[in-house]
Amino acid sequence: MLFLGKCNQLLQVPLLQQLTVAATIGFRFYSSDLEFEIKKITKIINDHPFPDQPIHPKLSQIIPSTTISTSFVENVLGHLFASHSNGLKAFEFFKFSLQFSQFCPTSDAFEKTLHILTRMRNFNKAWELIEEIHKTHPSLLTLKSMSIMLSRIAKFQSFEETLEAFQKLEDKFSDHKQFGTDECNLLLRAFCTQRQMKEAKSVFNKLYSRFSPTTKTMNILLLGFKESGDVTSVELFYHEMIRRGFKPNIVTYNIRIDSYCKRGIAHNTTYAQQLFDEIPKRNLLPDSGVYNALMNAFIRSRDIDSATKLMDEMEANNLLHDNITFHTMFSGLMKSTGIDGVLELYHKMISRNFVPKSETVVMLMKLFCKNHEVDDAMGFWRYLIDKGYCPHSHVVDVLVRSLYSHGRVEEAFDCSLQILERGRHLSKTCFRVLERHLEMGNEDKLKKLNKMIKNLQTVIPPSKGHASGISSVI
């Protein structure tokens, strides 16, 4: 009816306007339909029983060859990344897409696939992907993909292994040319974001002769000191930057403001505000990162009103609230207004179709369950699943325990199945809770659960803390 109404409106305007309006209407419908298809396919991939059934036949069935395009593949991978999909499924989808001649792989598609694999610590598959792309599409090997690989290896592996990876990437990425400032900055960032300042300093001294430091280099090291909670070192290094002739930028102020709401100096919001007010005087525009930093300072000082006003000011300046904004405000509201204030912001977030990151999801689920808001907890779970998101194991643990404590056994079992069907392991804690409630009178359900766990282990071995099932129920 809406479409017919729009068509009738066309009859009341000149021909040129008719064509313009018609094109606009058509584009809106096309965009809406495409977005719907992308979400539907993402959900089918996440829901696909893995590894009980191979995924390629299913992909061939649900994705017509005419649908495959660069934009389509990038969007599906983006949705899989945002939903914390099983990395092997994303990898299979990417390889499936390569079969079609009309699909020209892009850096974006490659980087998303690499990010999903490294996030689940599957470095063997990540290196396999890099080797394949190096042979077929070497131009896709970018600084961003290098950053993804190094940051994850620095987080989960040793200092020596990270340096070895850097050398290995140099062979693949540089076409036998020595890495320069940009590449060395990436290695520094990998250690600084993990608060490994001893390692960062060692790398800086080791590579100093190979590159010329820039303001970006200095900001990376400044960030490392900030992440380490060493406010004094932040200010000392900032003045060292100035002395060496480096010009501070908006990122520099973001880091300095944020440092004043960390442990060390007692939440100096006055100085943080002064730094914020100094930004326009240097002809710089505050971005979301700076607002979030000052907001964090207010929250840590229990000044929820100032933080709320800052959130409103962001909207007035057309700056989107991101996950850091919501997480910071939720943390403050939990300590000040409690569950009521959190629920108000939570419903505002949901109304915008915003899906928070894992840390925020875990925090909200714990809060709902602790306050016996089980309906809200289940509503949040369904919202995440409908969005194609695969919740973190901590979320499952908290929800399952809460559901069982309220006698909602069937829902707890169903939530556990949904995780396994999406190719994610259950934790030992969650499995023990399920086992304890299912072994008396629900042996069939326990057998089904155990079988799914065993099948999943054939392709994704469980890591420490994951359930390995029990052989006695088979």
Average pLDDT rounded to a whole number, residues 438-442: 76
The one-letter code for the residue type at 270 is T
d(CA 117, CA 140): 17
Average pLDDT rounded to a whole number, residues 70-77: 91
Band (pLDDT 50/70/90 cuts) for residue 464 is: low
Please choose, from the candidates 360, 328, 368, 257, the residue with its C-alpha nearest in 3D space to the C-alpha of residue 336.
328
Indicate the angle between helix axes 374-386 and 393-405, nearest 10 degrees: 140
Q: Is the pLDDT of residue 22 over 70?
A: no
Mean pLDDT of the chain, nearest integer: 84
Q: Are 169 and 190 in contact (CB under 8 A)?
A: no
Q: Is the pLDDT of residue 13 over 50?
A: no
Residue-wise pLDDT tens digits, 23-46: 333 433 344 577 788 888 888 888
d(CA 419, CA 392): 9
15 compared with 439, residue with greater pLDDT = 439
Q: Is the pLDDT of residue 342 over 80?
A: yes
Instruction: Burial-class residue 224 by CB neighbours within 10 Å (0-12, 13-18, 19+).
Output: buried
Please state, in angstroms and as integers, the Cα–Cα distance from residue 34 to each residue in 68, 69, 73, 360, following that order: 12, 12, 12, 29
Work out the number of other CB atoms within 10 angstroms of the CB of residue 398.
22
Instruction: Burial-class residue 148 by CB neighbours within 10 Å (0-12, 13-18, 19+).
Output: buried
Helix, strand, coil % over all residues of the chain, rounded to 5 = 75, 0, 25
46 compared with 347, residue with greater pLDDT = 347
Share of the chain above pLDDT 70, in %: 88
Q: Are 357 and 321 in contact (CB under 8 A)?
A: no
Instruction: Burial-class residue 442 by CB neighbours within 10 Å (0-12, 13-18, 19+).
Output: middle
Q: Provide the 3-class DSSP secondary structure of residue 406.
A: coil
pLDDT the model gives residue 176: 59
148's tokens: 């993804």
pLDDT the model gives residue 467: 63
> How far is it between the farthest Cα atoms of the chain?
77
Residue-wise pLDDT tens digits, 373-421: 999 999 999 999 988 888 888 899 999 999 989 989 899 999 998 888 8
pTM attached to this predicted model: 0.61
